[in-house]
Chain A
Amino acid sequence: MSDQTVSIKTLKIDGRDVSARADETILAVAQQNGIDIPTLCHLDGLTPVGACRLCLVEIAGSNKLLPACVTTVREGMEVFTESEKLNRYRKMILELLFSERNHICAVCVSNGHCDLQDLAVRLGVDFIRYPYLHPVEKVDASHDRFVQDDNRCVLCGRCVRVCGELEGAHTWDFMGRGVQTRVITDLDTPWGESDSCTRCGKCVHVCPTGALIEKGRSVAEMAKRRQFLPYLTLMRQEDQQ
């Protein structure tokens, strides 16, 4: 990669002139320039999937909104990361997420350390207009160190990706479809009985909410540590070179 010539593009993000390598995404370039686009399913070091739709941005000359995490830059592109319309959609998406399962911050181990909560604060979601669906989801505490609480899962798929891509275990995957989708270990066996799980705990720490947690944590005690992710990603990239 490094010894190849990479073409450089110049573009505008929120009115600022920025430069980028041709293979970089709008999100990456925005981050480099201190422009913070809201994201949930994205995490640096994992393959972007464009699933949460929070990072949608407007591009001049196109009436389609594009996910910044998977859209690569183009020469002369004019990107707008904030607008009345984008903010309205982002708030609605968060409202939908809050209404989908049982996100009750006050009793959550991740209270104060939760990406979903942070996004809601940042985007000013102070009221959920959609009726809560209040599903009864399972809690799997069969693992000796970790707990999976589906009630707090937002189906971002970070655990699935970190397990498959970085740990190489592929313990996690999705099952079912629509609002019935769940993340499962192995072939929907209890986590504690999983043959493939290496007990590394990466899934727990990339999880944006309190859906995957360490045992023995009480309310607001479950802070996630993600420092390993850029380190592992960097090491892997250097290995490949």
Chain B
Amino acid sequence: MLINDELQQIAQPILDEEAGAEHSIRVCVAAGCISSGSDKVLKELKAQVKERGLEGRCLVKGVGCMGPCAGGPVVRVDDGDVMYHNVGSDDAGEILDSLDGEPVKRLAQSMDTPFFKRQVKIALENSGVIDPERLEDYVAHEGYHALARVLTQMQPWEIIDEVTRSGLRGRGGAGYPAGLKWSTVAKAGGTKKYAVCNADEGDPGAFMDRSVLESDPHRVLEGMAIAAMAVGADQGYIYVRAEYPLAIKRLEKAIKQSERAGILGKRVLGTTYDFHVDVRLGAGAFVCGEETALLASIEGRRGTPRPRPPYPAESGLFGQSTLINNVETYANIPALIRNGADWFSSMGTETSKGTKVFALAGKVNNTGLIEVPMGTTLRDIVYEIGGGIPEDRPFKAVQTGGPSGGCIPADHLDSPVDYETLSKLGSIMGSGGMIVMDESSNMVDVAKYFMEFTTSESCGKCVPCRVGTTHMENLLTKILSGEATHHDLQLLEELCDLLQNTSLCGLGQAAPNPVVSTLRYFRHEYQALLTDDEVETTAQEEAE
């Protein structure tokens, strides 16, 4: 296999380095750890290794996210079962001293904990393992092997069939079956098609896509190239929000590297197939994560949604058939192709296969980035992986799906995390934000926070969302200030119904979800704030 030989050649320097080294020190250089100074730690470690003449014997490299973001800067030595947390550059000497002996106790955190043991990594398999800025490292870890395989051994329909059989569903939020979307685009007419990656991650508290892009950018490119080959696209766009400068830098570097190596661009891996990828930056609008608004923005127009149908698969970018998937969806593809659909579908539940990455945040001991099999219960995520709530305070609710999602109360902690269950509970899977709340959170406050967000992010095109979100936010403010009556609560509920049923795009249709779900489970908190004791049904009876 000529192509595999070429890939082998690319990976050789890394394999040689690793074969010669006795120790490896990995320092997290994703945005979270860099902001707490991991770049200085990396620099200091490298300098001291040089000073001590350990080069070649001890590898020091910057890697992507290792998960426990709250403990940054995070450093891992060899494959032992400890990880160093909160490392400073003045700890470098001590870490190097301990290489052949016991780990530095002061910094060490055991990895023999549910946080690590309960995770299953597919999209994040290389995160924290490879240097995100080196193509060689990605290739040495089976990178672009899946692309080589589809180029040489698979027909487009076979790729689509594999994805369909795997049961992979879109990781952007709605969970649309990926195989179905791919086959729709593949069947659409037209000579020009596009593959677009939605990296406009905007939910407050969510950073899954950012971590994937910062930790393993080539993986997303490989997933896109495979998808493009399957549907017949020769141009790809990655739409990244400009607030992710490091992800953008690494993506652009990755694109250059792979084009130079002949992996992307003209004649992909020496075949007759072309695939170019360009990065487009978002300008700070949450609504541009909505696919039709995203396409308008790539085209250089104002980023506002348009009614669907026609769906992008039929008429998308520049009027051509377009495939749009989220970062995490593409990141699942290389492993799925390498290991096969049966392997992928062996994980997860009946309807939701594989794993899901979550950004675990809020009142939980282990905040950070996790990847768990679909169907893991909320209790396992909060209490096992998350390590419970600080000071053992009682759990109140977990918020999933960001401003389009909802709050799930303690009664449902044993529910499995999959698309259907979460939507039955009044929330959504969403892109993977998960905020844990304890008893100190007031749910009306939580609802208002998200309502404020959607109000300021409403694009203003359709009336229900533009004006409705403003009134909903005002009504929530009024309720919180203790001046509202049952009539106000009724107006609020009517607006929820209006927005869900009449808004133009997903942003407006899902905007009431935080209010609806908190009303469903925590209605008493709203009622406690109202000024009158009027029985709530009166107004309704009057209307009837």
Q: Is A130 an interface residue (CB 8 A)?
A: yes
Instruction: Write out, one digit per residue, whether chain B residues 300-334 have a CB within 8 A of any chain A CB (1) or not (0).
Output: 00101011010000000000000000000000000
Given B287, B304, B461, B467, which contacts A179 in the complex, CB threshold below 8 Å?
Answer: B467
The distance from the CB of B289 to the nearest CB of chain A, in whole angstroms, is: 14
Give min CB distance, A85 to chain B, whole Å.
Answer: 8
- Band of interface residues on B: 20 to 34
Q: Which residues of A contact B471 (CB under 8 A)?
A: 96, 99, 130-131
The digit string for B230-256, where 1 denotes a CB below 8 A from any CB of A, is 000000000000000000000000000
Which residue in A49, A92, A97, A179 is a CB contact (below 8 Å) of B494?
A: A92
Also in contact, A51 and B302, with CB within 8 A (given A65-B501, A178-B457):
no
Residues 442-466 (chain B) with a chain A CB within 8 angstroms: 455-464, 466
Interface residues of B in 430-487 (CB under 8 A from A): 455-464, 466-471, 474
CA distance A93 to B494 in the complex (A): 12
B504 interface residue per 8 A CB criterion = yes
Closest CB of chain B to A56's CB: distance in Å?
6
Does A70 count as interface, using CB distance less than 8 angstroms? yes
B466 and A155 contact, CB distance less than 8 A: yes
A159 CB to nearest B CB, Å: 15
A179/B460 in contact, CB under 8 A: yes
Docked complex Cα distance between A142 and B189 (Å): 50
Which residues of B lie under 8 Å from residue A50 when comparing CB positions? 306-307, 462, 504
A70 to B504, CA, bound (A): 12
Assembled-state Cα–Cα distance A93/B495 (Å): 10
Are B302 and A181 interface neighbours, CB within 8 A? no
* Beta-carbon nearest neighbor of A67 in chain B: B307
Known contacts A53-B502, A174-B302, A178-B455; is-contact A96 B460 (Cβ 8 Å): no
* B459 near A52: Cβ-Cβ < 8 Å: no
Name the contact of B466 in the complex, choosing from A56, A89, A92, A181 (C-beta under 8 A): A181
- Decide if A100 is an interface residue (CB 8 Å cutoff): yes
A156: nearest chain-B partner, CB-CB? B463
Assess the A93–B285 pair: CB atoms within 8 A. Answer: no
Q: Which residues on the B side are within 8 Å of A34 (C-beta)?
A: none
Report A126-156 residues with CB < 8 Å from chain B CB: 129-131, 133, 154-155
Taking the nearest CB of chain A, how far is it from the CB of B136, in angstroms? 44
Say if the beta carbon of A177 comes within 8 Å of chain B: yes
Once the chains are docked, how many angstroms separate the CA of A230 from the CA of B471? Answer: 38
Judged by a CB distance under 8 angstroms, whether A2 is at the interface is: no
- Provided the pairs A70-B307, A178-B470 are in contact, do residues A173 and B461 lie with their beta carbons within 8 angstroms? no
A176 within 8 A of B: yes
Other-chain contact of A178, B460, B464, B491 (Cβ < 8 Å)? B460
- Alpha-carbon gap, A56 to B455, bound state (A): 23
- A10 CB to closest chain B CB (Å) equals 20
Q: Which residue of A lies closest to B487 (CB)?
A: A129
What are the residues of chain B within 8 A of A189 when measuring CB–CB?
A: none
Report Cα–Cα, A131/B471, bound state, in Å.
8
Q: Report chain A residues within 8 Å CB of B502.
A: 53, 56, 65, 89, 93
Distance in angstroms from B174 CB to nearest chain A CB is: 14
* Contact residues, A197-228 vs B (CB, 8 A): none
B306 touches A177 (CB 8 A): no
Q: Write out the residue numbers on chain B whose beta carbons fall within 8 Å of the beta carbon of A131.
A: 471, 474
Are B504 and A53 neighbours in the complex by a CB distance under 8 Å?
yes
Contact residue among B309, B460, B467, B503 (Cβ-Cβ distance under 8 Å from A177): B460
Task: Please give me the residue from chain A that is nearest to B495 by CB atom.
Answer: A92
In the assembled complex, A5 has its CB within 8 A of some CB on chain B? no
Given known A65-B501, A133-B470, A155-B460, contact A177–B307 (CB-CB < 8 A): no
Return chain B residues, CB-CB under 8 Å to A51: 461-463, 504
Distance in Å: Cβ of A79 to nearest Cβ of chain B = 16
* Given A53-B502, A131-B474; A178-B469 close (CB under 8 Å): yes
Contacts of B458 in A (CB 8 A): 177-179
Do the beta carbons of B307 and A96 come within 8 Å of each other? no
Residue of B nearest to A182 (CB): B460
B498 contacts A by Cβ under 8 Å: yes
A180 at the interface (CB under 8 A from B): yes
State A131–B459 Cα separation when bound (angstroms). 22
Considering only CB atoms, which chain A residue lies closest to B488 in the complex? Answer: A131
Residues in chain A near residue B468, CB distance under 8 A = 96
Alpha-carbon distance between A92 and B502 when the two chains are bound, in angstroms:
11
CB contacts under 8 Å to A, within B163-177, are none
A50 to B304, CA, bound (A): 12
Are A97 and B467 in contact, with the CB atoms below 8 A?
A: yes
Q: Which residues of B contact A97 (CB under 8 A)?
A: 463, 467
Interface contact A49-B306, CB-CB below 8 Å: yes
Interface centre among B302, B306, B466, by most A CB within 10 Å?
B466
What residues of chain B lie closer than 8 Å to A99, measured between beta carbons? Answer: 467, 471
Q: Which residues of A contact B470 (CB under 8 A)?
A: 100, 133, 178-179
Contacts of A49 in B (CB 8 A): 306-307, 461
Which residue, A52, A56, A96, A155, has most C-beta atoms of chain B within 10 A?
A96
Contacts of A176 on B, CB cut-off 8 Å?
460
For the complex, give the distance between the alpha carbons of A53 and B467 in Å. 13
A130–B463 touching, CB < 8 Å: no
B65 vs chain A, min Cβ distance (A)? 32
B-chain residues with CB within 8 Å of residue A65 when the two chains form the complex: 501-502
The interface of chain A, by Cβ under 8 A from chain B, is 49-53, 56, 65, 67, 70-71, 89, 92-93, 96-97, 99-100, 129-131, 133, 154-155, 157, 173-174, 176-181
Other than A53-B463, A130-B491, A155-B461, give 17 A-B pairs with Cβ distance below 8 A. A51-B462, A51-B504, A52-B462, A53-B462, A53-B464, A53-B504, A65-B501, A65-B502, A67-B307, A67-B504, A71-B309, A93-B464, A131-B474, A155-B460, A177-B459, A179-B467, A181-B460
9 A-B pairs within 8 Å (CB atoms) are namely A50-B307, A51-B462, A51-B463, A53-B504, A67-B307, A93-B502, A155-B461, A155-B466, A178-B460
Q: What are the 4 tightest A-B residue pairs by CB atom distance, in nearest-first order?
A: A181-B460, A96-B467, A50-B307, A178-B458
